Copies of this chain bind each other. A is one copy, B any other.
Amino acid sequence: MLRVPYRELEDVLAGALERLGFEPERGRLCARLFAEASLDGVASHGLNRFPRFVQMIRRGLVDVAARPELVEARGALERWDGRRGPGNLNAHACMNRAIALARGHGLGGVALARTNHWMRGGSYGWQAAEAGVIGVCWTNTMPNLPAWGAVDPRLGNNPIVIAVPHPDGHVVLDMAMSQFSYGTLESYRLRGEPLPVDGGFDAAGRPTRDPGAIEASARPMPIGCWKGAGLALMLDMAAAVLSGGSATHQIAADPNEETGLSQLFLALDPGPADRAAETVAAILAHLHGSRPDGREPVRHPGQRTLEVRRRNLELGVPVHPESWRFAREL
């Protein structure tokens, strides 16, 4: 695996985006969001996702010049139109706006319609935590998850992000409603490994740990079975209602055509920073005092991200040679 210095990765992407028509400042931010995803170990939504992003720009599905527009303001809750702009820039702008609303009102919400894939959802959690607020956001997606009791995918896996700031390292959860993403299924299949727990159903409808069987049946498992399926539905419904945008069933069921998403961004003022830091530290200390079951270490959300980030800053960010060549030659 090739490793490149973080700065070089961001610069290469920024240059490529400028050549694709981004204004320099917007291209720089977009590049940073892609590069940071790879830096943090989420290459599937970092550099490895970049070629598809470029393809969607070239096909006119992502408008590099479009900025989100305010549609309606109701005090602490606003509705914005993403105008099919770059999904990560739209999401970043809307979380920023939610943070600004939280500064004035204690909490703030922005519902965003007509946007594109936000790439790594965790980015907007880290962003909120960096700003010292609690961030909550979620997105709907194309249909890629069957309802509980169903065969055909009519739910999105609708990732949710919850972030709590902390001086020793923010605590950031970024999770989709399927037990494993298709990217993860592919990785296991390529390594020839079974999944650690049932990850979906095979063609005969039996729960299985065989990643290839799930890719073939298109029946991944929602987290907690009926529970995650229910949560996925609610996240889609809330995002679509609040933004006035599309629900999952209105989004093209093709990763290359997936556009017009709906999202919600919430920011909440955590109150006195000292008190919050103390509360978080005590919760984490108690958690890490758990009696281990001998299978795997107890971790808290965001912990591994910080470890990977530190290592990759030191050793360079691992890049897939093909994606890396694609970006440099753009």
- Which A positions have Cβ atoms within 8 angstroms of B? 72-79, 102, 104-109, 134, 136, 146-152, 154-155, 162, 164, 171, 173, 175, 179, 197, 201, 205, 207, 222-225, 227-228, 230-231, 233-238, 240-242, 244, 247-250, 266, 268-271, 275-276, 279-280, 282-283, 286-287, 289-301
Would you call A241 and B291 a contact (CB within 8 A)? no
Would you call B205 and A279 a contact (CB within 8 A)? no
Q: Tell me, in angstroms, the Cα distance from A247 to B287 when the chains sit together.
A: 11
Of B201, B227, B235, B279, which is within 8 A of A241 by CB? B279
Would you call A150 and B293 a contact (CB within 8 A)? yes
Would you call B290 and A76 a contact (CB within 8 A)? no
Name which residue of chain B comes closest to A125, CB basis: B234
Would you call A231 and B297 a contact (CB within 8 A)? no
Name which residue of chain B comes closest to A250, CB basis: B282
* Complex interface: chain B residues within 8 A of A270 (CB): 241-242
Of B72, B77, B230, B269, which is within 8 A of A107 by CB? B77
Would you call A237 and B104 a contact (CB within 8 A)? no
Would you call A175 and B227 a contact (CB within 8 A)? yes
Q: How far is the CB of A118 from chain B (nearest CB, A)?
A: 19
Would you call A280 and B241 a contact (CB within 8 A)? yes
Instruction: Assess A107 versus B76: contact at CB under 8 Å? Given A291-B151, A296-B149.
Output: yes
Q: Tell me, in angstroms, the Cα distance from A325 to B151 when the chains sit together.
A: 46
* Complex interface: chain B residues within 8 A of A148 (CB): 296, 298-299
* Complex interface: chain B residues within 8 A of A134 (CB): 238, 241-242
* Complex interface: chain B residues within 8 A of A271 (CB): 72, 79, 241-242, 244
Q: Tell me, in angstroms, the Cα distance from A43 to B269 when the chains sit together.
A: 37
Q: How far is the CB of A225 from chain B (nearest CB, A)?
A: 6
Q: Tell me, in angstroms, the Cα distance from A74 to B105 when the chains sit together.
A: 6
What are 24 sample pairs from A and B whose C-beta atoms fall under 8 A apart? Answer: A75-B106, A76-B107, A78-B106, A107-B107, A107-B109, A134-B242, A147-B298, A149-B290, A149-B295, A149-B296, A150-B290, A151-B290, A152-B290, A152-B291, A162-B231, A171-B237, A222-B224, A223-B227, A237-B280, A237-B283, A241-B271, A241-B279, A249-B286, A250-B282
